[in-house]
């Protein structure tokens, strides 16, 4: 994974930041992020779609992905998907995602994503392994608007999982 690179966020992009943290990302190392408490609602009637290689490097993304993340397409393509990783997400959620899809199974789940401007957006994601000739070639994630009730349930579950991870 030595081709994976990810720059720190730019605090100038996050004028309403409430937290500054350093994330430890798999295969990448430390990334400094600035996070605000502002939610950007998932746009109605849109699908946010991206494809990665088997190492999680973004190879394609649609216009809704570009708009919601706030990054240029040129920055996104070639970057690790953890460019959207929010510090409120427990590692266990992504561990489960990777365990499932690398075994050839579909994963569904709720994800809180971090935008370039430090705000966040919740999605309901379906991650699909793309198999050809018996081998996984890539992964595609299709996101939909999550229900508020499910987001609230996920928030509670993730807060507990994060606390557990912090004390482990
Ligand atoms: C197709 C696909 C889509 C993904 N989408 C996201 C996403 O939207 N947000 C996110 O934080 N991680 C996403 N991930 C998981 C990341 O690859 C990564 O595991 C996660 O951000 C946590 O970072 P870490 O594995 O470096 O700890 C996706 C992975 C795959 C294979």
Q: What is the pLDDT of residues 72-112, one digit of tens each?
A: 999 999 999 999 999 999 999 999 999 999 999 999 999 99
Cα dihedral across residues 81, 116, 125, 162: positive or negative: positive
Q: How far is CA 12 from CA 3, 42, 73, 88, 120, in A?
A: 27, 24, 20, 21, 17
pLDDT at 92: 97
- Decide if 91 contacts 165 (C-beta within 8 A): yes
pLDDT at 1: 42
- pLDDT above 60 for 2: no
Higher model confidence: residue 27 or residue 39? 39
How far, in Å, is the centroid of ligand 1 from the Cα of 98?
Answer: 8
- pLDDT above 50 for 58: yes
Using alpha carbons only, how large is the chain's radius of gyration in Å?
A: 15
**Cα–Cα distance measured from residue 151 to residue 155, given in angstroms and rounded to the nearest whole number:** 6
How far, in Å, is the centroid of ligand 1 from the Cα of 82?
Answer: 5
Question: Given pLDDT bands bounded at 50, 70 and 90, which one contains residue 5?
Answer: confident
Domains delineated in the chain: 39-167 (3.30.450.20)
Atom of ligand 1 nearest to the CA of 27: 26
**Cα–Cα distance measured from residue 82 to residue 114, given in angstroms and rounded to the nearest whole number:** 9
How far, in Å, is the centroid of ligand 1 from the Cα of 94?
Answer: 6
**Cα–Cα distance measured from residue 65 to residue 48, given in angstroms and rounded to the nearest whole number:** 5
Question: Given pLDDT bands bounded at 50, 70 and 90, which one contains residue 4?
Answer: low
Interacting residues of 80 by C-beta distance below 8 A, sequence separation 6+ = 4, 6, 25, 27, 28, 55, 56, 57, 58
Computed over every residue of the chain, the mean pLDDT equals: 96
Atom of ligand 1 nearest to the CA of 143: 8
Q: How far is CA 53 from CA 1, 81, 108, in A?
A: 11, 10, 19
Q: Using a 6 Å CB cutoff, which residues line ligand 1? A: 25-26, 50, 52, 56, 81-82, 84-85, 91, 94, 97, 101, 111, 113, 127, 139-141
Q: How far is CA 15 from CA 9, 75, 85, 119, 164, in A?
A: 12, 21, 19, 10, 31
Tokens linked to 105: 């199974």
Work out the average pLDDT over 34-48.
97
pLDDT at 146: 98
How far, in Å, is the centroid of ligand 1 from the Cα of 11?
Answer: 22
């Amino acid at each position: 994974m030595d081709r994976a690179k990810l720059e720190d966020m730019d605090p100038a992009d996050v004028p309403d930041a409430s937290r500054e943290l350093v994330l430890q990302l798999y295969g990448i190392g430390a990334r400094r992020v600035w996070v605000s408490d502002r939610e950007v609602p998932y746009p109605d009637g849109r699908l946010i779609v991206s494809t990665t290689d088997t190492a999680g490097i973004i190879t394609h993304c649609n216009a809704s992905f570009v708009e919601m993340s706030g990054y240029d397409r040129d920055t996104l393509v070639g970057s690790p998907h953890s460019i959207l990783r929010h510090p409120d997400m427990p590692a266990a959620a992504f561990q489960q995602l990777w365990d499932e899809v690398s075994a050839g199974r579909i994963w569904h789940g709720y994800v809180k994503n971090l935008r370039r401007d430090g705000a966040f957006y919740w999605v309901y994601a379906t991650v699909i392994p793309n198999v050809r000739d018996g081998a996984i070639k890539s992964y595609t994630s299709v996101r939909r608007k999550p229900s508020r009730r499910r987001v609230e349930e996920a928030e509670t579950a993730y807060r507990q999982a994060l606390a557990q991870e912090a004390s482990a």
